[in-house]
Amino acid sequence: MHEMGIANSVLESVRIEARRFPGRHIYKVGVRIGELSGVDPDAMRFCFEALVRDTDLEPLALEVDYRPRRHECRSCGRSFAPRSGDWMCPHCGAAESQFIEGDELELAYLEVEDGARSAGA
């Protein structure tokens, strides 16, 4: 299980980003996880919560934007989610398609408290 290390990388990034927002709490981090990323969203949530608990990062939520595998048809150019092993375009029936999405492991966004809190608050 490498989700612990990956959750830790997310938190390291949150800590680094936090320096850009002195005195403001970060409440949420959005992460994009593709079907083919090799990362399990549930294990990721579990590890994330365990790492955040009882730290100064609390409260900090994780929002997972799960991205199923998507292909783009080489013939009509429209995109679709292939069912396992079925590469045929559901729009035009063409056989050739290209992988376009579904292996992401990306930090998408942070939700940061508005305005500045007074020092020491």
List interacting residues with other proteins (CB under 8 A).
1-2, 5-6, 9-10, 13, 17, 21, 27, 31, 35-39, 84-85, 87, 103, 105-114
Whole-number minimum distance, CB 93 to other proteins, in Å?
Answer: 17
Instruction: Look at strands 26-34 and 105-112 and give their pairing.
Output: antiparallel
Whole-number minimum distance, CB 121 to other proteins, in Å?
Answer: 17
Nearer to other proteins, 54 or 107 (CB): 107
Tell me the C-alpha distance between 113 and 36, whole Å: 33
Query: Can you state the angle between helices 41-52 and 3-18, rounded to 10 degrees?
Result: 50
Tell me the C-alpha distance between 31 and 97, whole Å: 27
Nearer to other proteins, 68 or 77 (CB): 68
